[in-house]
Structure 1
Amino acid sequence: MLSLRDTPGNPVPPGGTIVAVGTGDDCTLRTATWRPTTRSCRGTVTLLQGRAEFIEKYYETIRDLRGRGFAVVAFDWRGQGDSDRRVDDPHKGHVDRFDDYRLDILAVADSVLTTMPGPHLCLAHSMGGCVALTGALDGWLPFKRLVTVAPMLSIRMIRMPLAASILARGLHRLGFGRRYIPFGKPVSIATKPFAGNRLCRDPERYARNAEAARQVGAGAVGDPTIAWLAGAFRAMARLRHPRAAPRITLPTLIVAAGADPVCGTPVTERFAARLKAGHILVLPDARHEILSEREAIRQDFWAAFDAFMPGTDLPTHAEVAQHAAPVPV
């Protein structure tokens, strides 16, 4: 039976409803919804997690959104949290192909978003931002505005990305896709010591997230598989193509971390400079997980979010003519 976990200092936001959502390829996704705590509703924000994340990590963000008048939809991607796995080892961060994440979003849209108030908006982090931007590029993302935090357009932790990409694709073709990446371990990055961590500078929020990860157990997955990495390289390369960003007509705000050791902010800035319907804000002192950063950084994020998300009905990207050349796959 699906449930949400309480941990000290991180209680489940009250009033939530848990839903088991089935995808078109028979995965079950743990999904939860909340109504706003205000009298009026400005719309619904769907949270798209980063890799190795889970709903419990977003309780504070859910409270922040509800207090701003938004209903919230949160779900665990396949392969992490309490959603279904395609591999026997639940600690592996695995997806057979990145396009499977599209099936997750569309299943949640069909089963859950149709019951939630509009307009439908999106807040995506890291890998979730990569998936969301791909959906915006291809025209299937079911939201009217997108805020993406530290989107995964490059991975700084990989020293030789070109060689790693070639190796990952080669191993994938040879049938090793469901194995850990070389030297991969089943240990969640969220449970590693605070000192020298790549995620945030706030020790209390870091400890809160680490305890939530320990309670979730295998849901806070360890290192990714070769298939995940090969798919990530392919998705990032496609978005970095010079003709990709200009074709995205969905109103988009990118909030990047100036001290991000996980995803490359200069790459993100170059991508954002080519957007015709979006812009970027770089928070200089922030590390990768801006939503779990120190309060001053979070206040800057929420100020930008509030200015960008008016809560009124907005034109969809389908209503804007697209004249740019297609982007190679």
Structure 2
Amino acid sequence: MDVVLHETDGNPVPGNHIAGFFQGHRGAKLRYAIFRAPDPVAKGTVVLLHGRNESIEKYYETINDLTARGLWVATFDFRGQGGSQRLLKNPRLGHVTRFSDYVRDLELFLEHIVLPDTRLPFYLVAHSTGGLIALAAAPRLANRIDRMVLLSPFVDLGGQKLSAGKIYVLSALLRWTGLGRLRLTSDSPLAPFEGNPVTSDPERYRRNQEILRAHPELALGPPTARWLYEAQSTMRKVSNPAHLASIMVPTVMISPGNDVLVPFASQERLSHYFRAAQFVPVPGARHELLQERDRYRAQALAAIEAFIPGSDEGPAVP
């Protein structure tokens, strides 16, 4: 099957790219793309990790920002979402058997796609669930990733009717009784802008909704109980001070002050034990910093640009 990167009005596919599938952990078929910078000399490669219910298409604007400053971008859709293989008969359910499957997929992506097909040095930029995956993988990334940026990392569960603790107990009970594929919540991929928790920018929100209207096969519905259990178990693991102390990759954590999905206080608390990380708050911003209004998004991009120097700090690779 041909690999297609979709475009919509106002959201064209960035040029100078290749796209394909690679084989993830246990044979999962995962869609990826590499976007080359227009510069004849590469300043390095950003490995871009999305959040839950996101796809490559949502990040075209950010990809253009990064390639415009001489960086290549390598990215892929996580198993069970976007243009990658879905894991259940109902393709709208967000599911994973083990959260470590995501980590192994990232390692295979670095080994089989990023290392042979892109340019050193390698950096990692991860949003939300991608940030949780990066934190889980980080102790083993020191020899491959030079620097890491985490945006609104998914280290706690907020914005739900039940407390995070009650959701953990309920999801664990369903998993242990063989009902882990049931969903605990309902949501709509085409929710109205008013009252949304992810961005205060109506135009970027409209653009992202238009992607799902035009290509509903990219959309994902609510997570299963198993997904919630696995995610929260991983949050507990990565929040352990011993795990954080084992991370040697220099990191910047950029956290929106008005994040209700991943409470700001939880992100700030994790940073206190994260010796390799510098904490950068963005007051007033909502969860999706790279989809936010310019006043907030520009702060996040400035922090990324200041921290990821590419060849400005070392030899360029043609």
TM-score (norm 2): 0.93
Which stretch of the first structure deviates more once superposed, 238-247 or 89-98?
Answer: 238-247
CA distance in 2, matches of 1:267, 1:9: 35
Alignment of 1:125 with 2:130, yes or no, is no
State whether residues 142 and 248 of structure 2, in contact with CA within 8 Å, keep that contact through their aligned partners in structure 1.
Answer: no
Find the counterpart in structure 2 of residue 214 from structure 1: 213
Equivalent residue letter for 1:74: T
- Is 1:79 the counterpart of 2:52? The answer is no
Note if contact 2:142-2:249 (Cα within 8 Å) is conserved in structure 1: no
Alpha-carbon separation, structure 1, partners of 2:263 and 2:243: 18
Q: For 1:122, give the aligned amino acid.
A: L
Equivalence for 2:244: 245
- 1:176 Cα deviation from its structure 2 partner: 1.0
TM-aligned CA deviation for residue 296 of structure 1: 1.6
CA contact (8 A) 2:43 2:312 kept: no
Matches within 5 A, 1:283-298: 283-298=282-297
Q: Deviations over 1:172-230 (max 9, x none)?
A: 1111112222x435x32xx2100000110111000001111222313220110111000
Structure 1's unaligned 5+ residue stretches are 316-329
Q: For residues 205 and 73 of structure 1, what CA distance do their matches in structure 2 show?
A: 22
What SS does the corresponding residue of 2:26 show, helix, strand or coil? coil
Query: Cα offset for 1:138?
Result: 5.0
- Cα distance in 2 for residues equivalent to 1:142 and 1:99: 19
Structure 1 counterpart of 2:16:
15
Q: Could you say if the C-alpha distance between residues 88 and 140 of structure 1 is closer, same or farther in structure 2, counting changes exceeding 3 Å? A: farther
For residues 103 and 244 of structure 1, do their structure 2 counterparts lie closer, same or farther at Cα, with a shift above 3 Å needed? closer
Instruction: Give the C-alpha shift of residue 110 in structure 1.
Output: 2.1
Corresponding residue pairs, total: 311
8 Å CA contact 1:148, 1:252 repeated in 2: yes
Q: 2:128 & 2:201 partners in 1: Cα distance?
A: 19
- The residue that corresponds to 2:170 in the other structure is 167
- Aligned-residue RMSD, C-alpha: 1.7
**Which residue matches 1:224?**
223
Consecutive unaligned residues of structure 2, counting only runs of 5 or more, are none
SS at match of 2:252: strand
Is the Cα contact below 8 Å between 2:262 and 2:287 reproduced in 1?
Answer: yes
Residue 9 of structure 1 and its aligned partner are, at CA, apart by 0.5
Distance 1:82 1:179 in 2: 23
DSSP-derived class of the 2:83 partner: coil
Q: Is the 8 A contact 1:87 1:94 kept in 2?
A: yes
Describe how 1:1-329 pairs up with structure 2 within 5 A.
Answer: 1-113=2-114, 114-139=116-141, 142-158=144-160, 159-181=162-184, 183-185=185-187, 187-188=188-189, 191-312=190-311
Cα displacement (A) at 1:39: 3.4
Mapped contact 1:144–1:314 kept (Cα < 8 A):
no
Partner-residue secondary structure (3-state), 2:207: helix
Cα distance, 1:264 vs structure 2? 1.2
Q: Deviations over 1:32-77 (max 9, x none)?
A: 1111123331100011110010010000010000001100111100
CA contact (8 A) 1:119 1:314 kept: no
CA-CA distance at 1:137 after TM superposition:
3.4
Secondary structure of the residue that 1:243 maps to in structure 2? helix
Aligned-pair identity in percent equals 36
Q: CA deviation at 1:144?
A: 1.7
Distance 1:135 1:250, change over 3 A: same
Residue 164 of structure 1 aligns with an amino acid whose one-letter code is I
Tell me by how many angstroms 1:314 deviates: 8.6
Tell me if the contact between 1:178 and 1:225 (Cα under 8 Å) persists in the aligned partners: yes
Deviation of 1:246 after TM superposition, in Å, equals 2.2
Structure 1 length normalisation: TM-score?
Answer: 0.90
Structure 1 residue 244: Cα displacement: 2.6
